[in-house]
Chain A
Amino acid sequence: MAFKGALVINTEKCKGCEVCITGCPNGVIALSKKVNAKGYNYLEVVNADACIGCANCAVICPDGVIEVYRAKE
């Protein structure tokens, strides 16, 4: 049974550190070219279909920016 994941990213709290990107097994996330009010390039989903909702990104984000949902396909 395959899982599909989806993220809700609190872009205003993101500091653009890229630590979460190193933890994603499927290349789902990347930094945006745009910046938030603090001036950080924030995280965005670039390959939504590949997200399996493993929450790896969320458990290493120092700032608790990422909310993760997962459903059976």
Chain B
Amino acid sequence: MTREDIIKPENLVYKRTSVLKDATMHYCPGCGHGTVHRIIAEVIEEMGIQDNVVGISPVGCSVLAYNYFDVDFVEAAHGRAPACASAIKRLRPETFVFSYQGDGDLASIGCAEVMHACNRGENITMIFINNGIYGMTGGQMAPTTLEGMETVTCPYGRDPEIMGHTMRLTEALAQLPGTYYVTRQAVYTPALARKCKKAIRQAFENQKLNKGVSFVEVTSNCNSGWKMTAVQANKWMEENTLKYFPLGDMKVNGKFDPKFIERIATFDQPNETLYSLRKK
């Protein structure tokens, strides 16, 4: 079988979606932001909602998301994407609305907005890219930075005694009655990327039910901020980040996942992963 025999329209199994514009994304090589953009765009294409969706981009590396999606977009002030999304959805309930935020944007400066939008049970989809660092501004510590992890503002490793604890905000949001679907996903292997796409699809489909917030955290890499190659960063994430931020559903159809209930019961105990990263 020659290459020409295989490359025919009827044999196409994967092609870049036309919901993404032709522009080359500005993200660093291997950055998970690009993968998640692609997945969201594919979901929009598959649901046939390109003309009826509004995205809200944050401040952070993904501030320019509106340059890449061929759908309506609003750029919110730092941390305010959930507030902006709430307003748009209330004014246009028939439109699919999603916010897209990094961890500095969502868990730090925007902590109040996300908490209250989730507590009000806005009928929106929230995408949260947790790379444990402020990527855009050069790699400063975020609330989600692991204890012991080095960043430019904690060069000797995050010390919880003076810098606070690594924040599992998604776990907190799952406990608010206004959230209907809360899950943590990743995109660094083919199987995980396919699973993440199903979760994002679910989070968009849920808007048809008007039951509250559908929240998808994607634990991601920041190769530049972590000072690694993309492949090294993905490995590091698997070995460290995912121990403290394990993947999986927390709440589905408004009900806690049984594994999540087991896990939060251990939250008053020290986490071995974090202590192992700390400098002795």
Q: Which residues of A contact B (CB under 8 A)?
A: 4-6, 8, 10, 13, 15-19, 21-23, 40, 48, 53-71, 73
Contacts and interface: CB of A to CB of B under 8 A. Distances in A.
A63 B25 contact: yes
Contact of B24 (A13, A16, A59): A13
Contacts, number: 101
A5 B17 CA distance: 20
Contact of B194 (A6, A53, A59): A59
Contacts of B187: 60
A53 B15 CA distance: 12
Contacts of B252: none
B34 interface: yes
B6 A18 contact: no
A27 B73 CA distance: 40
A64 B20 contact: yes
Contacts of A22: 189, 231, 234
Given A15-B30, A16-B29, A67-B16, A8 B7 contact: yes
Contact of B31 (A8, A16, A62, A65): A62
Contact of B193 (A5, A60, A64, A66): A60
Contacts of B30: 15, 17-19, 62
Interface of B: 1, 3, 5-8, 11-17, 20, 24-25, 27-35, 38, 187-190, 193-194, 229-231, 234
- Most B CB contacts (10 A, CB to CB) among A8, A16, A62, A66 go to A62
A56 B20 CA distance: 20
Given A53-B13, A69-B7, A71-B5, A59 B29 contact: no
Given A23-B190, A68-B15, 16 more contacts: A15-B29, A18-B30, A18-B230, A58-B14, A60-B188, A60-B189, A62-B33, A62-B35, A64-B34, A64-B38, A67-B12, A68-B14, A69-B6, A69-B12, A69-B13, A71-B6
Contact of B190 (A4, A60, A69): A60
A17 B13 contact: no
A59 B16 CA distance: 10
A17 to B, nearest CB: 3
A62 to B, nearest CB: 3
A62 B11 CA distance: 23
Contacts of B231: 17-19, 21-22
A62 B233 CA distance: 14
A16 B3 CA distance: 24
B8 A56 contact: no
A8 to B, nearest CB: 7
Closest 5 CB pairs of A and B: A62-B34, A17-B30, A64-B16, A15-B29, A17-B29
A73 B1 contact: yes
B14 A59 contact: yes
A59 B189 CA distance: 9
B20 A19 contact: no
Contacts of A67: 12, 14-16
Nearest to B196: A59
Given A4-B1, A48-B3, A59-B193, A19 B234 contact: yes
Contacts of B14: 55, 58-59, 66-68
Given A19-B230, A60-B189, A70 B13 contact: yes
